[in-house]
């Protein structure tokens, strides 16, 4: 049975991240039509067959293998194509290779649409978010990187474990690059409206004070730590993507640490990175300029500089 609800999402790349994202979105009830595109057509076909076989347990929707003509009436196009860092490879190699893939994909998309929101998850996500917009002159407010939405979730989870409190009641942001130069905004981190240091001072748990650096390192290195144990990470990022998709399709004005092209907030411009951002049906609605400490602010600027260097390498011949 075909659904008539309007929400159409195209996923480019049917690897670990793309297939898991499709599965996660199927369960969300947010999407009425899901299209998978992959240069490995057989892989996309296999994933679609497998996904379709669970439809009798879910709300009706259409899931199919497609091509770029399917982007014409898509609400959101999710980019998950291209590999992770290969064994022995570097982040810089990845930046160069995946920038080429991103440019090629965008060239094909703009033959059909400039109105869909482009949601980039492929790495390095900040670089590819910028390449997606700038390579074809796409409206940068419609190009969103998953950024540090996943990292912020990892941060909240680790704090919830430490404090023994539901992660949904812990608020905190990881800012900057989704990667090695990211920054934990400890000064904005709070539980039940109470700044984390103050909360810890009054906490009845007998633990010694929170080891902020240990928690931050676990967040920052989570991807590497998982890939040391299995070939890829995909559950966390697929839930982060689902959350962003939800905020767009439901026009939520949600505050998420997505990556977008910065135009001056925090004294940063000309580079995509993550800061708390209002996300709604238009895409990037507004970047929030929140009060960071001087140290956090200079770490964020340092992260922007690191990304600028990676971007210029990625775009060099
Ligand atoms: P994967 O190798 O399993 O899948 C990549 C897929 O892309 C493959 O099926 C491949 O055939 C396809 N592909 C390659 N070039 C293509 C093209 N030009 N057009 C269409 N499809 C193409 O990799 P994965 O584990 O799914 O990871 C995908 C990307 O997501 C990687 O860049 C990875 O680093 C990134 N990732 C991001 C986050 C995040 O938080 N942003 C988290 C995990 C992974």
Q: Residue 208's pLDDT is what?
A: 67
H helix and E strand count, the chain: 10, 16
Q: Is the minimum distance from the CB of 16 to ligand 1 under 6 angstroms?
A: yes
Q: Is the minimum distance from the CB of 55 to ligand 1 under 6 angstroms?
A: no
Q: Which residue among 22, 79, 80, 237 is best mutated to probe the pocket of ligand 1, counting the most ligand atoms within 8 A of its Cβ?
A: 80
With b for 16 or more beta-carbon neighbours within 10 A and e for fewer, the 128-139 pattern comes to: bbbbbbbbbebe
Positions marked catalytic = 178
* Tokens of residue 99, six digits: 């920038």
* pLDDT, tens digit only, all 317 positions of the chain: 443 447 999 999 999 999 999 999 999 999 999 999 999 999 999 999 999 999 999 999 999 999 999 999 999 999 999 988 776 667 777 999 999 999 999 999 999 999 999 999 999 999 999 999 999 999 999 999 999 999 999 999 999 999 999 999 999 999 999 999 999 999 999 999 999 989 888 887 767 678 899 999 999 999 989 988 999 999 999 999 999 999 999 999 999 999 999 999 999 999 999 999 999 999 999 999 999 999 999 999 999 999 999 999 999 86
User: Strand, helix or coil at 310?
Assistant: helix
Distance of alpha carbon 17 from alpha carbon 227, whole angstroms? 13
Scanning 78-203, the segments in alpha helix (DSSP H) are 91-109, 125-136, 149-163, 196-201
Q: Residue 316's pLDDT is what?
A: 87
Q: Which ligand 1 atom sits closest to the C-alpha of 81?
A: 7
């Amino acid at each position: 049975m075909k659904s008539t609800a309007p929400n159409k999402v195209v996923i480019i790349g049917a690897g670990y991240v793309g297939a898991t994202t499709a599965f996660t979105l199927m369960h969300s009830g947010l999407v009425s039509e899901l299209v998978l595109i992959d240069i490995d057509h057989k892989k996309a076909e296999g994933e679609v067959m497998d996904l379709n076989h669970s439809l009798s347990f879910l709300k009706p929707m259409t899931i199919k293998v497609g091509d770029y003509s399917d982007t014409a009436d898509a609400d959101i196009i999710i980019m998950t194509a291209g590999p992770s860092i290969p064994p022995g490879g570097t982040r810089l190699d990845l930046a160069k290779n995946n920038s080429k893939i991103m440019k090629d994909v965008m060239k094909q998309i703009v033959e059909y649409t400039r109105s869909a929101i482009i949601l980039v998850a492929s790495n390095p996500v900040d670089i590819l978010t910028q390449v997606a917009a700038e390579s074809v002159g796409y409206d940068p407010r419609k190009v969103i990187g998953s950024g540090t939405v996943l990292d912020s979730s990892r941060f909240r989870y680790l704090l919830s474990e430490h404090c023994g409190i539901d992660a949904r009641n812990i608020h905190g942001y990881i800012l900057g690059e989704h990667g090695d130069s990211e920054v934990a905004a400890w000064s904005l981190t709070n539980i039940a409206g109470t700044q984390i240091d103050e909360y810890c001072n009054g906490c009845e748990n007998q633990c010694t004070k929170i080891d902020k650096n240990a928690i931050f390192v676990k967040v920052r290195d989570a991807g590497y730590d998982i890939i040391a144990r299995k070939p890829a990470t995909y559950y966390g990022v697929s839930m982060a993507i689902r959350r962003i998709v939800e905020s767009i399709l439901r026009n939520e004005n949600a505050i998420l640490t997505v990556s977008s092209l910065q135009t001056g907030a925090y004294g940063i411009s000309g580079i995509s990175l993550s800061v708390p951002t209002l996300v709604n049906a238009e895409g990037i609605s507004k970047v929030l300029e929140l009060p960071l400490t001087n140290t956090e602010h200079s770490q964020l600027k340092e992260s922007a500089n690191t990304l600028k260097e990676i971007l210029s390498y990625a775009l060099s011949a």
